[in-house]
Amino acid sequence: MKLINFPSLVTQKLRVTFLIIVIIICTFVFINVFSESLRLNTAPPKTKANLKVSIKGEKTNSIKYSSYSSLLLSSFRGNLASGIAVLFKAVSVSDSILSAGFTTIIYNLGDSPDAFTNPIIDSSNPNFNNYVNDAISNDDLTYDSYETDARDENVTVAVTAFGSASEIRAKRLNFFQNALSALNSKDYSGVATEYFICSKCGNIYTLSNVPGVCDICGMSKIRFITIK
Ligand SMILES: [Zn+2]
């Protein structure tokens, strides 16, 4: 007659328990990974839509400002206000970097930007005031509501990007308001004629305030783009 081997029975129970725990953990991990990939393919709808609007807006502004800069430089060569044309060139570069940043995020979310049509620029009457006012009305808009949507949808990278873009816009708004004051007072001594753009985030600096590393993203100033 075979006696029951107690230590062996205990070991077997332990093995079974261990196996059950492993199965539960694997199932849990699998469900999480699967639902994460499913979430990336279907969500986040608001952030994706906001990114598409932002890409189109920044791309449009980049093309517009580049044209404004060229039109002002060719029409008003030697004019004291032509330093403002350099500002448009710098902000055009800044906008294209913002647009590229948003584009990277939307591809990482498994989506792509909408088809883009180049804006039509009216070149018949280049005018400093009109162009500066147009830029002020654009940069007066923040990305705050988009940032909130991204936070609600848990898209951290978009929260950061929209937050940075709002900061960059606020800074540019300041430059354009300064340009408008100069146009009104006809005193252009405070208008910068050289700008430094962070190649990573699009933040913009003048010679008097260019830091060693970007205030927003930490990129070294050796990677800044000089516009003059
Ligand atoms: Zn930066």
Cα of 62 from ligand 1 centre, angstroms: 18
Give the pLDDT of residue 82. Answer: 84
Which of 85-89, 151-155, 189-193 is the least confident region?
A: 189-193
Task: Report whether pLDDT(9) > 70.
Answer: no
Q: Of 200 and 11, which is predicted with more confidence?
A: 200
Residue 71: pLDDT over 70: yes
The model's pLDDT over 170-224, given as tens digits with 9 standing for 90+, comes to 999 999 999 999 999 999 988 999 999 999 999 999 999 999 999 999 999 999 9
Secondary structure letter of residue 217 according to DSSP: T
Give the helix/strand (H/E) hosting 66. Answer: helix 45-75
Looking up tokens 């962070």 gives: 198
21 CA distance to ligand 1 middle (Å): 47
Q: What is the pLDDT of residue 12?
A: 76
Q: 70 pLDDT band (50/70/90 cuts)?
A: very high
- Whether the pLDDT of residue 79 is over 90: the answer is no
DSSP for 133-167 reads: HHHHHHHT--SHHHHHHHHHTT-HHHHHHHHHHHH
Q: pLDDT tier at 78 (50, 70, 90 boundaries)?
A: confident
What pLDDT is stored for residue 5 in this prediction?
61
pLDDT value, residue 26: 52
**For 24-33, what is the mean pLDDT?**
60
Q: How far is the CA of 164 from the centre of ligand 1 (A)?
A: 9
Specify whether the CB–CB gap between 153 and 120 falls below 8 A: no
* % of the chain at pLDDT higher than 90: 71
- Please give the distance, rounded to the nearest whole angstrom, from the Cα atom of residue 60 to the centre of ligand 1: 21
The rounded Å distance from CA 74 to ligand 1 centre is 31
* ∠ CA 168-74-188, rounded to 5°: 55
- C-alpha of residue 83 to centroid of ligand 1, in Å: 24
Residue-averaged pLDDT of the chain: 88
Instruction: Check residue 30 and give its pLDDT.
Output: 59
User: pTM surpassing 0.85?
Assistant: no
How much distance in Å is there from the Cα of 218 to the middle of ligand 1? 6
Residue 171 has what pLDDT?
94
Q: Does residue 2 surpass a pLDDT of 90? A: no
- Residue 102 above 60 pLDDT? yes
Give me the pLDDT at residue 80, please.
80
For residue 199, how far is its CA from the centre of ligand 1 (angstroms)? 7
39 Cα to the center of ligand 1, angstroms: 30
Residue 76: pLDDT band by 50, 70, 90 thresholds? confident
224 CA to centre of ligand 1 in angstroms: 8
CA distances in angstroms from 217 to 3, 54, 67, 128, 158, listed in the order given: 72, 19, 28, 32, 14
Residue 211 C-alpha to ligand 1 middle, in angstroms?
11
